[in-house]
Structure 1
């Protein structure tokens, strides 16, 4: 983690004693440690690795990746560092119970205990008082921007503790991902937070319909056992940018009520169904993944022209790189909530202004801005990229993706998709799409991955696609395509697997286009042609048999009606079985992918 914070003043004795106490109370591997191993009294403590101070008080302590083991007791020297604004203990081997008093440190804005071995959280006594506030400095005041707690990747079990609702501290964000929490989602978590991440647990039930006052900008509930419908009241989350409910059991239609602020939408591996017909437009959308569901209908009903963030424009591009917008409710100049969209956070400590003291003391107090706690949070999504399921650990503004694969969409591919000129990945595979591949796709100059496999697309592959110089993955296999494969630098790199299952296709890397399939194989000609009577008699038998059936159908009503009724019954049974088989295959694939992801999750 970058630590660009300046050092002001010499370290105070009580602060040095607390840090040395931490070094003695925790075990760590000196051969692995890069910070604590160098702590000694030959240098003042504000210059120690991982430590930053203001006015001699420790406000920043980064001990991540230090091989620290042991626990955090209620008598730990940590509680003597009462001016801490940032404490990072992630990626160690700390375990046992997390003392709830740690959550109530008054100035602590960012606390990370992720990637450790904690298994429980202590509960406060009914009459217990909160830790005392640190004494105020007459020289400075730290600008408070809320709290963020990161407990991801631990061994926490049971229901989500209501302590997160009791303390009025986590007003910014809470990350409990990849633990073993069960039970339902406490409704209070949906009302005050800006970021809530419950990914990779075993939470069940439905999403509480409790979005009356919603400040959420990111909500990740993926990889759980949630079901039911998406609450209609989520429309009140006017700042919602990221919604990820993938790998659950939701059974609902497409959530058209989602707010226009949405940038990332992941519904993959659920049981969403029906046509996607929405009057709402989402101009900020950059990632849409609704794969492995039961959506149907035509893609033409989607308003692709309203997805402005996927349309390349010089002015828009400049805005995305340089013109970051502040999160509503945060002071101007803090781009924390937009970091996930590519904005860079402010680093270091800066004086943002002065304020007068109460009457009788005219000294000016410097207000210190140490940045927002959301600077350290990154939204993560799991996407299928180039045929491989990968975890995208940081969403940059340049990455745009549409994944509608493994549904039941039909009809043609809309020409309007070609207007999404900044699109990076397009996956429409495993549907029932028909018609030709539109030439407008050649306008997707930045496209790197295109998957149209396992559909019913017909016609030729447009020659214009050969000019997509960034295209590194193409799959049009198992369609009804014909004609020659376009020649181009990128197309020459694709394997035969990209085109297999299209009997009418030819050209590199498939067969040569000089002749029809099987050209070059010349059947031997017999000089002496003889009549082979066994074939003549067989053909005559077929003619007599078919003639008898046609005569009975035309002239015998008692035979004709039962015959056609039986034909209709058999055809209906075949169609029903095919539809059921398709649904069963989708369910099986969803289950296999979900189980595989959870196996990988446990190995992580």
Structure 2
């Protein structure tokens, strides 16, 4: 009996078979590729709802993409497949329609290591206690928002925290002493808020962080304990601080940046010794007197200096980088002279 199979039907059958196998392969791959933990997905949807379902979180939709590890501004740990990063970064074109307070549900992402809520002008309210539940958190960055209330002392419970940035908000009250309990902390930025009171007598037992407390309303003198530690960077500028800060310097330090400008510090600069590591020194708009130390000429990596608007006298030492700075670095002192100012 003669076969009725033709080359055309054979080709068609083969094509259909291959198409079916390809479809099943893609389906299987799609199902097996989903990494998202059901609990994390549920929490993200709660967070989205708390923020009034903003447009730039439109991808947080199981009907569009079921795997929440692929959702916008979310990252998952490859080993655990749990969400370890949530970065809501606003700006001119995105994040503008996100509004509300930080939802307590954020504390229900137990594997979170990075939490960033940045440049979200419609983010209001206080920092919720639920954040203290994030025991794995390494980076907490809540900045350029309309957050109010205090800097919470419960942040000291985040034992793995390395970076704390609460800058450019409307936080009030005093700075909690408990932040010095963060043994892994590398940087603390509380600048551009409305914080008041004295700088706490922090006694760090672990890492010594770079600290930025600038642009607040802090008063009093710097605690002597700050002279015991070796900071890479310290910025207390634009506050209402006073007293003698000469103990902050020394040849044994490796600090690179000091900014104490626009305060009311008053001390004799003449015999102060600066660390060889110094890159930037800003002391402008204080009540500092005496003369510029000759030791400043030995700073080979010196990049910035401003001692203007003080009560300094004497000749600017010659050598090193001191003559490379323009006159604005020195002017409006009582009787400072020599290049780049007028001759003595």
The CA distance in 2 between the partners of 1:438 and 1:428, in whole Å, is: 17
> Are 2:293 and 2:317, in contact at CA under 8 Å, matched by a contact in 1?
yes
Q: Does 1:80 align with 2:3?
A: no
State the superposition RMSD in angstroms.
3.4
> How many Å apart are 1:189 and its aligned residue?
1.5
2:88 to 161, 176, 187: 176
> Are 1:190 and 1:214, in contact at CA under 8 Å, matched by a contact in 2?
no
Q: Does 1:292 align with 2:215?
A: yes
* Number of the residue aligned with 2:116: 197
The CA distance in 1 between the partners of 2:155 and 2:57, in whole Å, is: 32
The CA distance in 1 between the partners of 2:60 and 2:139, in whole Å, is: 27
**Measured at CA, do residues 169 and 223 of structure 1 come closer, stay the same or move farther in structure 2, by a change above 3 Å?**
farther
**Measured at CA, do residues 454 and 253 of structure 1 come closer, stay the same or move farther in structure 2, by a change above 3 Å?**
same
**Measured at CA, do residues 488 and 419 of structure 1 come closer, stay the same or move farther in structure 2, by a change above 3 Å?**
closer
The CA distance in 1 between the partners of 2:252 and 2:58, in whole Å, is: 48
> Are 1:246 and 1:266, in contact at CA under 8 Å, matched by a contact in 2?
yes
> Are 1:281 and 1:303, in contact at CA under 8 Å, matched by a contact in 2?
no
* Number of the residue aligned with 1:120: 58
5+ residue gaps, structure 1: 1-12, 19-56, 58-75, 86-99, 105-116, 132-145, 153-163, 311-399, 514-604
Q: Does 1:207 align with 2:154?
A: no
> How many Å apart are 1:466 and its aligned residue?
1.2
> How many Å apart are 1:440 and its aligned residue?
4.1
CA-to-aligned-CA distance 1:422-481 (integer Å, 9 cap, x gap): 222111100000011264442x11211111001110111111111111111100000010
2:243 to 404, 411, 419: 411
Q: Does 1:480 align with 2:311?
A: yes
> Are 2:60 and 2:71, in contact at CA under 8 Å, matched by a contact in 1?
no
DSSP 3-state at the match of 2:107: helix
5+ residue gaps, structure 2: 1-17, 42-54
TM-score, L = length of structure 2: 0.75
CA-to-aligned-CA distance 1:132-160 (integer Å, 9 cap, x gap): xxxxxxxxxxxxxx9696629xxxxxxxx
Between structure 1 and structure 2, the one with the greater Rg is 1
How many corresponding residue pairs?
Answer: 293
1:218 to 139, 152, 156: 139
CA-to-aligned-CA distance 1:3-41 (integer Å, 9 cap, x gap): xxxxxxxxxx99xx79xxxxxxxxxxxxxxxxxxxxxxx
> Are 1:448 and 1:472, in contact at CA under 8 Å, matched by a contact in 2?
yes
CA-to-aligned-CA distance 1:310-365 (integer Å, 9 cap, x gap): 4xxxxxxxxxxxxxxxxxxxxxxxxxxxxxxxxxxxxxxxxxxxxxxxxxxxxxxx
CA-to-aligned-CA distance 1:238-260 (integer Å, 9 cap, x gap): 11111101000000211221223
What is the correspondence of 1:89-238 to structure 2 with a 5 Å cutoff? Answer: 118=56, 120-124=58-62, 151=73, 170-178=82-90, 179-180=95-96, 181-191=98-108, 192=110, 193-202=112-121, 203-210=123-130, 211-212=132-133, 214-238=135-159
What is the correspondence of 1:344-423 to structure 2 with a 5 Å cutoff? Answer: 400-418=232-250, 421-423=253-255
The CA distance in 2 between the partners of 1:296 and 1:272, in whole Å, is: 10
**Displaced runs of 4 or more, over 6 A:** 128-131, 146-149
TM-score, L = length of structure 1: 0.44
